[in-house]
């Protein structure tokens, strides 16, 4: 029971299993391999190789961390949004990102991970998040460009993950992708509006595109030749396309959008290659990506500090709620069915209106 221990997964799947020891191990391997071969989903309590479980936890957690840290660059502009409509859109979008982080932490917890532990790993720098969020947002145009390019790149990455072999992750991604299609559109719409505005606004947009283009290309990860984990992830059907394939799709998708917008993508090597049926484009500065990933980006320290402070400042609140709940009896509760035993915090306003 070392390498195929799904009982270590959370007790969601029920009480401790009575494991049929050695026989169960071989049967577990076979079931897992067969499910992958048949393109079936792996579900939480299924037997799975420990390497698969670890890879899934790490990938889902990093994805969740990215959503949560990703609230910060745009979140700074909610209170400054120049119209109330843009303010509402941005607040709803950043709220969605918190929601997406939670869907993903929820998926990670089906694998036996604990969100408190994952948060600790993030704060202590032991787990990564997307390097894109270590760049600063300098103008309101960045809100639009993040929606267009960053969310656009994220969608390219994420749509194939809707078919990831791990069921809870795939299901979370379906929901996230649906919700994010509004994120990209609102960004593009903001940029279109600004491009119809004053010359100063058009400059803001172009400046923002100049700053975000290369980091967006980096979101697909290093070139395939330098991505040692890709092969195993593809064999396990965790990943469905290589980094370079997805990057190419993103470029092909973005070029006509840039033309329609009237901005220039800052790559002198960018041109249509009729022979390949794709755009040729330049390579990002991979040394910069390595520096940012290793913690040396413009905003790494500030992003983690904010997350750590929120977690630490909130500890007394979470502890208080836990202490209060300890005095209440647990019971199944519902909005649609009369609640057998509501906690005291809950029933407090019953009958007040």
**Of residues 104-163, which lie at the interface with another protein (CB under 8 A)?**
105-107, 109-110, 114-117, 119-120, 140, 155-156, 158-159, 162
Residue 99 structure tokens? 């929601």
Closest CA to 68 of 126, 115, 129: 129
d(CA 173, CA 132) in angstroms, rounded, equals 19
- 308 sits near another protein (criterion: CB under 8 A): no
Contact between 16 and 9 (Cβ < 8 Å) = no
Q: How far is the CB of 197 from another protein (least distance, A)?
A: 4
> Shortest gap between Cβ of 337 and another protein (angstroms)?
8
Burial (Cβ within 10 Å: 0-12, 13-18, ≥19) of residue 290 = middle
Of the candidate residues 29, 49, 58, 96, the single one contacting another protein (CB under 8 A)? 96
Q: Report the residue from 54, 80, 278, 305 that binds another protein according to the rule CB under 8 A.
A: 80
Q: How far is the CB of 287 from another protein (least distance, A)?
A: 29
Task: Answer yes or no whether residue 40 interacts with another protein by CB under 8 A.
Answer: no
Closest to 212 (Cα-Cα) out of 284, 295, 280, 296:
284
Considering only 225, 228, 335, 338, the residue that binds another protein (CB under 8 A) is: 335
- Region 256-285 residues binding another protein, contact defined as CB under 8 A: none
| Interface with another protein, residue 296, by CB under 8 A | no
Of 56, 78, 145, 238, which lies in the binding site for another protein, with binding defined by CB under 8 A? 78
Q: Does 98 bind another protein (CB under 8 A)?
A: yes
Interface with another protein, residue 317, by CB under 8 A: yes
Angle between helices 300-313 and 115-123 (to 10 degrees): 140
- Confirm if 343 and 328 have CB atoms less than 8 A apart: yes
Among 14, 228, 269, 277, binds another protein (CB under 8 A): 14
* DSSP tag of 132: G
Tokens of 122: 């993030």
Least distance in angstroms from the C-beta of 218 to another protein: 19
Q: Tokens 């983690």, residue?
A: 304
Pick one of 101, 221, 284, 297: the residue that binds another protein (CB under 8 A).
101
If the CB atoms of residues 290 and 306 are measured against another protein, the closer one turns out to be: 306
For 208-237, the DSSP string reads HHHHHHHHHHHTT-S-GGG-TTHHHHHHTT
174 interacts with another protein by CB under 8 A: yes
Stretch binding another protein (CB under 8 A), from 52-60, 192-200, 230-238, 261-269: 192-200
User: What are the phi and psi torsion angles at 278 (to 5°)?
Assistant: -140, 170
Whose Cβ is closer to another protein: residue 82's or residue 228's? 82
CB atoms within 10 A of CB 240: 16
Residue of the chain from 11, 229, 273, 294 that contacts another protein (CB under 8 A):
11
Q: Which residue has the tokens 């947009």?
A: 205
In the complex, minimum distance from the CB of residue 187 to another protein, in angstroms, rounded to a whole number: 13
How many C-beta neighbours within 10 Å does residue 157 have?
A: 22
Q: Which is nearer to another protein, 174 or 258 (CB)?
A: 174
Collapsed DSSP state (helix, strand, coil) of residue 278: strand
Instruction: Tell me how many residues contact another protein (CB under 8 A).
Output: 121
Tell me which residue has tokens 């500030």: 302
Does 198 bind another protein (CB under 8 A)? Our answer is yes
The residue written with tokens 């400059």 in the block is 203
The footprint of another protein on residues 210-239 (CB under 8 A) is none
Shortest distance, position 211 Cβ to another protein, whole Å: 18
Q: Quick check: 21 binds another protein (CB under 8 A)? A: no
């Amino acid at each position: 029971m070392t390498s195929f221990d799904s009982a270590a997964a959370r007790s969601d799947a029920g009480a401790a299993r009575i494991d049929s020891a050695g026989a169960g191990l071989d049967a577990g391997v076979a079931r897992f391999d067969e499910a992958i071969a048949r393109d079936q989903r792996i579900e939480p309590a299924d037997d799975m190789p420990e390497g698969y479980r670890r890879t899934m936890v790490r990938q889902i957690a990093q994805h969740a961390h990215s959503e949560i840290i990703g609230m910060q660059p745009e979140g700074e502009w909610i209170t400054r949004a120049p119209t109330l409509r843009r303010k509402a859109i941005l607040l709803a979008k950043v709220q969605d990102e918190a929601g997406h982080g939670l869907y993903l932490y929820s998926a990670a917890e089906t694998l036996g991970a604990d969100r408190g532990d994952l948060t600790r790993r993030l704060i202590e720098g032991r787990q990564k998040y997307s390097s894109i969020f270590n760049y600063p947002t300098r103008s309101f145009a960045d809100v639009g460009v993040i929606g267009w390019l960053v969310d656009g790149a994220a969608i390219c990455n994420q749509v194939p993950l809707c078919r990831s072999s791990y069921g809870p992750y795939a299901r979370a991604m379906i929901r996230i992708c649906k919700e994010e299609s509004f994120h990209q559109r609102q960004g593009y719409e903001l940029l279109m509006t600004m491009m119809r505005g004053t010359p100063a606004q058009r400059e803001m947009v172009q400046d923002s595109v100049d700053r975000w283009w290369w980091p967006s290309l980096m979101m697909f990860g290093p070139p395939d030749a330098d991505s040692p984990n890709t092969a195993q992830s593809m064999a396990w059907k965790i990943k469905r396309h290589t980094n370079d394939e997805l990057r190419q799709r993103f470029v092909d998708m973005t070029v006509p959008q840039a033309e329609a917008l009237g901005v220039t993508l800052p790559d002198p090597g960018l041109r249509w290659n009729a022979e390949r049926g794709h755009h040729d484009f330049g390579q990002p500065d991979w040394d910069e990506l390595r520096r940012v990933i290793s913690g040396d980006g413009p905003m790494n320290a500030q992003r983690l500090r904010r997350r750590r402070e929120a977690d630490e400042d909130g500890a007394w609140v979470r502890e208080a709620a836990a202490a209060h709940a300890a005095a209440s009896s647990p019971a199944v509760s519902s909005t649609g069915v009369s609640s057998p035993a509501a906690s005291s915090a809950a029933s407090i306003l019953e009958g007040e209106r």
